[in-house]
Amino acid sequence: MKDIVKSTPLAVPFILLKNLTTEATSQSNEAEILTRLASRVEMPKRFIELGFSGFEFNTVHLARRKDWKGLLVDGGAYNVRVANLILHEGIRAEQMWIDLTTLQRVLDYAESQDLGVLSIDVDGNDFWFLQKLITARPALIVAEFNITLGRRPITVPYDPLFDRKAKHETGEYYGASIVAIAHLCASNGYSLVEISRNGVNAFFVRNDLLTGDWRTIDASKVRLEKYYPDGSKAPTDQFWEKIKTMPFIDVIDMAPTSFS
């Protein structure tokens, strides 16, 4: 029923009503972590988030604050419509199929101003997008990682038409491992400081901002457990057995690698 409403004139009152009755949140505790880290780090109050849901995304608490400005990008028209209806005018939401070519528009936006937070959760080319956008030197990075890939320093190869559902029947062939993401961030002067409760998103702070008492995390020692919203644990070892023959890139030497 909700999907039908979304494509009719009833979508606007539905969105506005839901906005009044739904608490702004994130997939797990990402929004709470971001709020806490933003209070500890002196940073510009500007963010970019790639891949978001209209009522649930990592920077949602920042986006609700009038003193923050930001850019939200997603391929879904409904998500963009929701954001443009319920968020203040300092938040810009754009519908865009993201690849390394269209991503230049996002990089231009990032480089036109100091960036506080960069969040990437696109279930596909996450590593390659972060590799390009990290040059904008945000204060804080939130990056989704694929726990199924374990501690192997790997990512899926770049594909401008990447579709998680089409790539493999399990939907588990996407993104990069926590070690791969951490390697990229460390190479650019960032340290891992926190992991979301559900074992999905990693938080990195630029090293020059780590003043005072900070606890950094060794990515190779992160507990690899992913939990679904109902509290059940994902069978990641089983998923890996099903996708391990797929192509991967080792990010240490940036060369194809095989696990067949």
At residue 92, what are phi and psi to the nearest 5 degrees?
Answer: -110, 130
Mean pLDDT of 19-34: 77
| Three-class secondary structure of residue 106 per DSSP | helix
Q: Is the pLDDT of residue 33 over 80?
A: yes
3-state SS, residue 8: coil
CA dihedral over 107, 112, 115, 117, signed as positive or negative: negative
CB atoms inside a 10 Å sphere around CB 106: 21
Choose among 227, 254, 194: nearest CA to 40: 194
Tokens found for residue 206: 């630029």
- Whether residue 207 contacts residue 189, with contact meaning beta carbons closer than 8 Å, is answered with yes
pLDDT of residue 27: 74
**Tens digits of residue pLDDT in 186-221:** 999 999 999 998 889 999 999 999 988 899 999 998
Band the pLDDT of 7: cuts 50, 70, 90. Answer: low
| CA distances, 47 to each of 87, 88, 109 (Å) | 14, 14, 10
Q: Would you state the pLDDT for residue 211? A: 85
* Residue partners of 5: CB distance under 8 A and separation at least 6: 11, 14
User: Model's pTM, two decimal places?
Assistant: 0.90
3-state per-residue secondary structure call for 109-151: HHHCCCCCEEEECCCCCHHHHHHHHHHHCCCEEEEECCHHHCC
Mean pLDDT of 25-51: 90
**What pLDDT score does 227 carry?**
83
- Alpha helix segments (H runs only) across the chain: 2-6, 11-21, 30-40, 60-63, 77-86, 103-111, 126-133, 164-167, 178-187, 236-243
| Percent of the chain clearing pLDDT 70 (strictly above) | 91
How far is the C-alpha of 4 from the C-alpha of 78, rounded, in Å?
A: 12
Q: Give the whole-angstrom CA distance, residue 126 versus residue 50.
A: 9
Output the average pLDDT for the chain: 90
pLDDT at 1 over 50: no
pLDDT band at 156 (very low <50, low <70, confident <90, very high): very high
Q: Is 187 helix (H, G, I), strand (E, B) or coil?
A: helix
User: In this structure, what DSSP letter does residue 41 have?
Assistant: S
CA nearest to 131, candidates 93, 165, 176: 176
Q: Which of 12-16, 35-39, 48-52, 98-102 has the lowest mean pLDDT?
A: 12-16
Q: With bands split at pLDDT 50, 70 and 90, how would you rate the model's confidence at 18? A: low
Nearest CA among 187, 229, 230, 180 for reference residue 202: 180
Closest CA to 132 of 153, 97, 105: 105
Q: Does 233 have pLDDT greater than 90? A: no
- The predicted-structure confidence for 44-86, as pLDDT tens digits, reads as follows 999 999 998 877 889 999 999 999 999 999 998 888 988 888 8
Q: What is the mean pLDDT of residues 166-183?
A: 96
Q: What would the pLDDT profile of 93-116 be if each residue is shown by its tens digit?
A: 999 999 999 999 999 989 888 899
Position 92, amino acid = R
Give the end-to-end CA distance of the chain in Å, rounded to a whole number: 44
